[in-house]
Chain A
Amino acid sequence: MEDERIVAGLHCGEVVADVTEYLEGRLSPQRAARIGEHLNGCDDCQRLAEEISAVVRALRALPEEPLPPEVEARLLASLGSTEAAPHG
């Protein structure tokens, strides 16, 4: 990861700073195109972008832990909530 390297007119450091915004599609079309061009010509930045994508996928794939039934029951009881049909 060399900050001073320039590919497609952009320093790696600039690209590293924008990777999340690029992956999230929040950059202007012009900026995104330049970043894409840099990534195509820079193995280090390309790898980082792929790794960040993998991290995000891994986070989103983590199982969604439910509320333990005994915790829910204690919460409902302590807050004096009326039991309702168990859906929702």
Chain B
Amino acid sequence: MVHADDARISDETLIGRVAAGDSSAFARLIRRHGAMVYRFARAAAPQETDCEEILREAFLAARRGAGRYRDEPSGRSWLLALARRAVERRSPRPGAGSASFGELARAAARRGPAAWDGSGGPAEAVAAALAALPAEDREILTLYDRELLTLDEVARVTGIADAALRTRLHRARLRLLAELKGALRGG
């Protein structure tokens, strides 16, 4: 069955069809969100992880669990939460640390150039600085600042409550700034 107007089919509808055994709907779900889940796996999992396997496990879990889909912020956060579980099964991760905001801001300020306005930071440098951060930071920045999930959605994926989540987001941004400035300075 071909759906001519696929973009208008909501994730919830697709997931409902998956629950009913519609393999065409499952393929559509993969096409719609596979890249996002894969990017998340690459950001959240340790470097040596087989992210294709994470992707497969997440969608396998989605097919098995589609019948229980309800009260979710969104289909994408549900899928990403499944992917995160697959990542965690492989690598229970240490936290990114709890340095104070002041310490992190000073670390960023110490690193040149004196003030960074976004210029001179090619995408490669930003991606490399992001990759150098602890997994916890990479994860939250990927979800919120790259995939543009809402805080509710990020909370669903990570299992971190709202206030703590906002604190972690701020810390992750400060650490990325310090990392990026250090890299642009060459040290």
Q: Enumerate chain B residues within 8 angstroms of A58, measured Cβ to Cβ.
A: 118, 121, 123, 126, 180
B residues less than 8 Å from A50 (CB atoms): 115, 117
Q: CB-CB < 8 A to A66: which residues of B? A: 35
Asked if B156 is an interface residue, CB under 8 A from chain A, the answer is no
B34 touching A54, Cβ below 8 Å: no
B85 within 8 A of A: no
Q: Mark A45-88, 1 if CB is under 8 A from B, else 0.
A: 00110111111111111111111000110111011111111111
In the complex, what residues of B have CB within 8 A of residue A75's CB?
Answer: 30, 34, 52, 55-56, 59
The total of chain B residues at the interface (CB under 8 A) is 52
Q: Which of B140-187 contact A (CB under 8 A)?
A: 141, 145-146, 148, 166, 169-170, 173-174, 176-177, 180-181
Whether, in the assembled complex, A13 has its beta carbon less than 8 Å from a beta carbon of chain B, the answer is yes
A12 and B101 alpha carbons, distance in the complex (Å): 11
Q: Which chain A residue shows the least CB distance to B22?
A: A82
Q: Which range holds the interface residue count of chain A?
A: 35 or more
How far is B9's CA from A55's CA once the two chains are assembled, in angstroms?
A: 34
Contact of A79 among B6, B63, B170 (CB under 8 A): B63
Contact of B32 among A3, A60, A74, A88 (CB under 8 A): A88
Q: Considering the complex, which residues of chain B in the window 110-125 have a beta carbon less than 8 Å from any beta carbon of chain A?
A: 115-118, 121, 123
Residue A1 is within 8 A (CB to CB) of chain B in the complex: yes
Q: How far, in angstroms, from A52 to B146 measured CA to CA in the complex? A: 15
Contact A59 B166, beta carbon cutoff 8 Å: no
Bound complex: CA of A78 vs CA of B52, how far in Å? Answer: 11
By the criterion CB–CB under 8 Å, are B177 and A55 in contact? yes
Which residue of chain A lies nearest to B175 when distances are taken between CB atoms in the complex? A55
Inter-chain pairs besides A54-B118, A59-B141, 20 sampled, C-beta below 8 Å = A13-B102, A51-B117, A51-B177, A51-B181, A52-B174, A53-B118, A54-B116, A59-B176, A60-B145, A60-B146, A61-B123, A62-B123, A78-B56, A79-B56, A84-B2, A84-B24, A86-B31, A87-B31, A88-B9, A88-B28
Chain A residues within 8 Å of B, Cβ to Cβ: 1, 3, 12-13, 16-17, 19-21, 26, 44, 47-48, 50-67, 71-72, 74-76, 78-88
Closest 3 CB pairs of A and B: A54-B118, A88-B6, A20-B170
